[in-house]
Structure 1
Amino acid sequence: MDDAGPAVHRRIGWSTGTWLNPPVRSLPLGDGELLVTAAEGTDFWRTTAYGFVHDNGHALLAPLPPDTAAEVRFVADYTEQFDQAGLLVRVDAERWLKTGVEYCDGTPQLGAVRTDGASDWSTAPVPEWAGRPVTVRVSRRDDALTVRARADEEPWRLVRLAPLAPDVEALAGPYCCGPTRADLTVRFLGWTAGPADAALHP
C-alpha cells in the first residue's frame, strides 16, 4: 500500500458482520468472495432535492472504532441507473456516509453521500473504472473520516473528508443498492480492517 495509509490490513470474514436490511441473496464463494443480490427499490438517502427518505439499502456492518480503517473491494460491473456498491459508515438512520461507485446518467461515478439529518452528494465520473476491481477505504482518526478509493492497484484518490465525533459509536462495511431494478448482483472481493491512515496527505 502506498503512503496514503497503513501497510497491513486483516481480512474480515463475511460472517463477522451483521446485515442491515438483508439482501435478496448473499452467497459466499470458495475463493473468499461474496455475491450479493439487491432488492429492487433499495437505497440510502434522506430528503435533499428528491424529497424522499430511503433507508432500506443492504449493508454488512461491523464496528469501526476510532483510529481504525475499513476497506471494501468489489467489481464495478453494473450498468443501470443508480446501481451502486461500496462502503457504508453508519451511526444511525440520520447519520451515515456511503462511498463507492454509482452508475448515474450513463457512466460510473466515484462519489460519497454524507447524511446528517439530510443527505448531500459529491460525485465525479470514472468511465475508465467500468468492470474493474475497485477498493474504497474509510479511515477514522480524531474528529474525521477520510475517504479514499482506487481501481486495481492504481494510486489512491482522496474522495471526501467528513466530520465524525471521536466519541460516537459507528459501524462500517460493504453495501449495495438497486434503486431502479430487481436483479443487481455485486461481486465483493474482500473486506478488511486495519489502523487509520497515518496522514491526511502523502
Structure 2
Amino acid sequence: MSSFTIKASPDTDIWRKPPSTDVFTAPRAADAGSKTTAPLSSFKSARVSFLLYPKEQYDQAGLVLSFKSSGASGPLSGDSPPKWLKTGVEYYNGVPKAATVACDSWADWSLADVVKGKEGDWVTVLVENGQDALGKSFWIYQVVDGEKVPLREVCWVFGHGDPEKWEISVEAYACRPAKEAGDLVVEFKGFDVQWI
C-alpha cells in the first residue's frame, strides 16, 4: 500500500442539512489499484491512516462511503449520492475531534476525543460490517496502537431492503469548508478495503 495526498480547495464539504443544503464537493481518492466499489452485501471493512494539520473551522479528512441503488449512474463530481457516511477527524472550535456523520436522508454528526497513539499525529479510522444477535450494522472505530476504539454504530445501512441492490463506494476524502482560506493538504497511507 502506498501513500497519497489530497488537496482540498476552500469551500469544499460533504454535508446535508434541511431544508436545502446538499453539498458533496470534497475531493476524494483511493490507493491505486484498490477495488473501491461493489455491492453492499460484499463489503467487509475499510481503513485508512491520515495526517491532518487543521487550521480552519471544520477542516476534515478521513473515509467516505457512498451508497446508491445498484444499476444507477454514479455521482458526478459535485453531485451528492443518495446516502453516505464519513468518518475521520474534523476541526471544531479549535480542537481536532474524531467525527462521524451518517446521512440516510439528512446528515447527523457525532464528535469524540481523538486518542493519541504511538504514531503521533497520524490517525487511523476503520469501518467494519458487523452483526450481532439483534441484526446487522456498520461499526466505526479509531484504531490506536492496534486497539479498536469504538466511535459509533450505524444501523440504517442495512435497512433499505436487499443489500445486493445497493452499491457502496469507499474513498479517502479531505475538505475545507471555510470560504476565505488557502488549500488544505492531507497525507494518507494504509488505504485498504476488504470485500467478502
For the superposition of Structure 1 and Structure 2, which TM-score range results when normalised by the shorter chain? 0.7 to 0.9
Q: In the alignment, is the contact (CA less than 8 A) between 2:57 and 2:92 conserved in 1?
A: yes
- Give the whole-Å Cα distance in 2 for the aligned partners of 1:186 and 1:133: 11
2:82 is aligned with what amino acid?
Answer: E
| TM-superposed deviation, 1:131 | 6.2
Q: Cα deviation per residue 1:47-100 (whole Å; 9 max; x = unaligned)?
A: 159x62211112226125435111111013223211100000101423100000
1:72 aligned residue: 48
1:184 aligned residue: 184
| TM-superposed deviation, 1:144 | 1.5
Number of residue pairs aligned between Structure 1 and Structure 2: 164
1:132 aligned residue: 121
1:184 is aligned with what amino acid?
Answer: L
Extract unaligned runs of 5+ from structure 2: 31-35, 69-80
Q: In the alignment, is the contact (CA less than 8 A) between 1:77 and 1:131 conserved in 2?
A: no
- Give the whole-Å Cα distance in 1 for the aligned partners of 2:170 and 2:195: 14
Runs of 4+ that moved beyond 4 A? 127-131
Q: Alignment partner of 1:150: what SS?
A: strand
Q: Alignment partner of 1:79: what SS?
A: coil
2:17 aligned residue: 47
| TM-superposed deviation, 1:171 | 0.9
| TM-superposed deviation, 1:128 | 4.9
Q: Greater RCO between the two (CA within 8 Å, min separation 6)?
A: 2
Extract unaligned runs of 5+ from structure 1: 1-10, 12-31, 197-202
Residue correspondence of structure 1 range 1-202 to structure 2 within 5 A = 11=1, 32-48=2-18, 52-60=21-29, 62-63=36-37, 65=40, 66-92=42-68, 93-126=81-114, 128=116, 132-141=121-130, 143-151=136-144, 153=145, 155-163=147-155, 164-165=157-158, 166-167=163-164, 168-180=166-178, 181-194=181-194
Query: TM-score, normalised to structure 2's length?
Result: 0.74
- Give the whole-Å Cα distance in 1 for the aligned partners of 2:53 and 2:115: 11
